[in-house]
Structure 1
């Protein structure tokens, strides 16, 4: 089993476990390796050094970094997804219905065009773009 350090074009770093380096190359060429954070399938291998056991060496502590921040963002996004109803491409229509008391008030999410989003804001309807990583769009196995 080979454990490789990988990175997507957006700078997300993660580990991948493969039967061999050739197995990684094969999966990468078929675009089967995806970033678990954003779903990008253009993944590159990072250089990694073998672990060296040096007697008398002291371990240096790393400050809290991007990994912790990404985990917090993912938890927050999961919470937003759990507390909102996905109305899909009917977002603008449903937001208007809620705003004008034609539908029950609730938190919704969905997809709309930039033009429709601007029109909603001009009508006094608060909207916020929220990019959802591919890793959260489908249930985990």
Structure 2
């Protein structure tokens, strides 16, 4: 496996893993590599620092060798903080939905149908539905959209 740092024509930068350099070239020529932020297929490899492991005989590879951080090293991003513009946009969308909508949990399908038929007052809701239930709502003309996040109350 090989990891490449990539960028699109709009200068969005992201990383991706490939089976080999040849696999990257094959996927790129087929137009199957797209920007993770804007979806553009005009993607190129970006300049990146190589990651070379020290040899087994080098002092830095020895277990008792102290590994002091570089004096100008700054801590990396937090695992809980959004790293890319796409993740930041998704986090903001999640925050707004949770702030301005009512969470109905696994009653989502019933509530959405009731609002669509006029049996319940219209309001912004979000909740959970199985894929087959969501498809049936869409087929029945109930305006719903899948969300790509877990509600805050369900996260650890």
Q: Which has the larger Rg?
A: 2
Q: Normalising by the residue count of structure 1, what TM-score does the alignment of the two structures yield? A: 0.48
Q: Normalising by the residue count of structure 2, what TM-score does the alignment of the two structures yield? A: 0.44
